[in-house]
């Protein structure tokens, strides 16, 4: 077999047919590995591990710009094809492969003896290219209503640059600001995407009639308010309580609670693919309320609020979304297995341990990481074959 034939055969594999396949599989697998390593290191089992700038910097950066960004990329690369009616990257697997390799290079760079500037270049290569690809597809189709997605990706790249600058200059406060800003930017994506797909999934999953139309203003306020919240965190809003930010987070929490009330149907608790997303969005609302209370001066550790968002909200929405999207876009029945339902339960138990157990015992840190890692291991074990094989 000639080299061009071998290349064509490899890039013609089902894995490279749609963006969700390589990025969901790699992102979930990376989450499993990274969480288990983090939990073991916390309890001294892997004290010799020494990535660039140390394990804490690695954990902070990689759970956002390694794990979360991979899932965001997989979802958007697939969703944009649906929004625009264009084939997306399915006809250009080389570009999809390039994106994936850039993402992988960023993960490996932490463990290689690279000069500081080269390390930053490798880390920052992925996000601008992803934003350019998404922006081009939306622009060619004239889908201006989805341009905020490109704005969010651009801001994520900016906040990643801020994080890496703080890391290389040993400015922990700036590193933390970049990471908090990026986390709340991901929360913005969760707010926008969740607002679109969760009610649709509930309607389809329970075979309901169409939801009554509502004013678009709550959604617009949530988008703008969430962006402002993320920018406030990047500019120091997470350094100390600021009372003037409390109304913003309280407004966001109220609108998210209103969404949960409007979406609720008793039957969703019988369907794991629905209650997993619903509960995860509830964690997002709870974390936003927690930030409002923290800015009002309540004695709530900000790290607990941050991890309520990161583990329960982000982790829960990611796990529920990748399970549902993987089934739907591969032609499988939209029904989660018992094992996957158990994975959802493990993830939310991990969130409870991180928020409720950690204040009383440091064992909660490792236990939370282990449970979350197991949850994503369930997905990889159960859905790996689906992602690697053709659509039914």
pLDDT digits (tens, 9 = 90+) for 34-52: 999 999 999 888 878 889 8
pLDDT at 142: 75
Name the CA radius of gyration of the chain, rounded. Answer: 20
Taking a C-beta distance cutoff of 8 angstroms, is the pair 332, 293 a contact? no
Is the confidence at residue 7, as pLDDT, over 60? no
Residue 190: partners with Cβ closer than 8 Å, 6 or more residues away: 281, 284, 313, 314, 317
Q: Beta-carbon neighbour count of residue 381 at 10 Å? A: 13
Q: Percent of the chain at pLDDT above 90?
A: 74
pLDDT at 25: 97
pLDDT at 15: 87
Helix, coil or strand: residue 125: coil
Taking a C-beta distance cutoff of 8 angstroms, is the pair 105, 125 a contact? yes
Taking a C-beta distance cutoff of 8 angstroms, is the pair 118, 168 a contact? no
Query: Would you give the DSSP letter of residue 48?
Result: T
The arithmetic mean of pLDDT across residues 149-171, rounded, is 92
Q: What is the mean pLDDT of the chain?
A: 91
Is the confidence at residue 99, as pLDDT, over 90? yes
Helix, coil or strand: residue 391: coil
pLDDT in tens, 40-84: 999 888 878 889 888 999 999 999 999 999 999 999 998 887 777
Q: At 208, is the pLDDT very low, low, confident or very high (cuts 50, 70, 90)?
A: confident
pLDDT in tens, 284-327: 999 999 999 999 999 999 999 999 999 999 999 999 999 999 99
Residue 343 has, within 13 A of its CA and on its CB side, a CA count of: 29
Helix, coil or strand: residue 390: coil
Residue 28: both structure tokens together: 């979930």
Taking a C-beta distance cutoff of 8 angstroms, is the pair 24, 326 a contact? yes
pLDDT in tens, 331-386: 999 999 999 999 999 999 999 999 999 999 988 999 999 999 999 999 999 999 99
Residue 341 has, within 13 A of its CA and on its CB side, a CA count of: 12
User: What are the Cα distances from residue 200, in Å, to 79, 196, 203, 260?
Assistant: 14, 7, 5, 13
Cα dihedral: 11, 15, 16, 18 (round 10): 160
């Amino acid at each position: 077999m000639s080299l061009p034939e071998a290349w064509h055969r490899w890039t013609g594999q089902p894995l490279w047919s749609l963006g969700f396949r390589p990025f969901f599989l790699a992102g979930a697998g990376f989450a499993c590995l990274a969480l288990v390593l983090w939990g073991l290191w916390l309890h001294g089992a892997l004290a010799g591990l020494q990535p660039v700038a140390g394990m804490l910097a690695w954990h902070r950066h990689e759970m956002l710009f390694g794990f979360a960004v991979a899932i965001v990329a997989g979802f958007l690369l697939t969703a944009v094809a649906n929004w625009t009616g264009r084939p997306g990257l399915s006809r250009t697997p080389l570009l999809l492969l390039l994106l994936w390799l850039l993402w992988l290079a960023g993960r490996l760079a932490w463990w290689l003896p690279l000069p500081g500037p080269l390390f930053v270049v490798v880390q920052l290569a992925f996000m601008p290219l992803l934003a350019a690809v998404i922006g081009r597809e939306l622009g060619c189709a004239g889908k201006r209503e989805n341009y905020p997605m490109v704005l969010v990706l651009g801001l994520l790249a900016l906040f990643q640059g801020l994080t890496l600058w703080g890391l290389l200059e040993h400015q922990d406060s700036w590193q933390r600001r970049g990471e908090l800003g990026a986390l709340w930017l991901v929360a913005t994506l969760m707010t926008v995407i969740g607002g679109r797909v969760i009610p649709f999934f509930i309607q389809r999953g329970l075979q309901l009639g169409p939801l009554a139309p509502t004013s678009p203003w709550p959604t617009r306020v949530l988008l703008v308010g969430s962006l402002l919240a993320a920018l406030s965190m990047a500019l120091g809003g997470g350094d100390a309580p600021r009372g003037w930010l409390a109304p913003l987070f309280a407004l966001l929490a109220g609108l998210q609670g209103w969404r949960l009330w409007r979406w609720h149907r008793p039957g969703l608790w019988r369907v794991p693919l629905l209650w997993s997303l619903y509960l995860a969005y509830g964690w997002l609302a709870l974390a936003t309320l927690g930030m409002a209370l923290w800015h009002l001066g309540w004695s709530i550790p900000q790290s607990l609020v941050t991890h309520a968002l990161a583990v329960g909200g982000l982790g829960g929405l990611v796990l529920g979304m990748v399970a549902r999207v993987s089934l739907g876009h591969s032609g499988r029945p939209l029904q989660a297995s018992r094992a996957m339902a158990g994975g959802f339960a493990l993830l939310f138990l991990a969130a409870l341990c991180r928020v409720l157990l950690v204040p009383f015992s440091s064992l909660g840190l490792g236990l939370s990481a282990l449970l979350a890692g197991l949850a994503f291991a369930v997905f990889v074990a159960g859905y790996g074959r689906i992602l690697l094989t053709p659509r039914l």
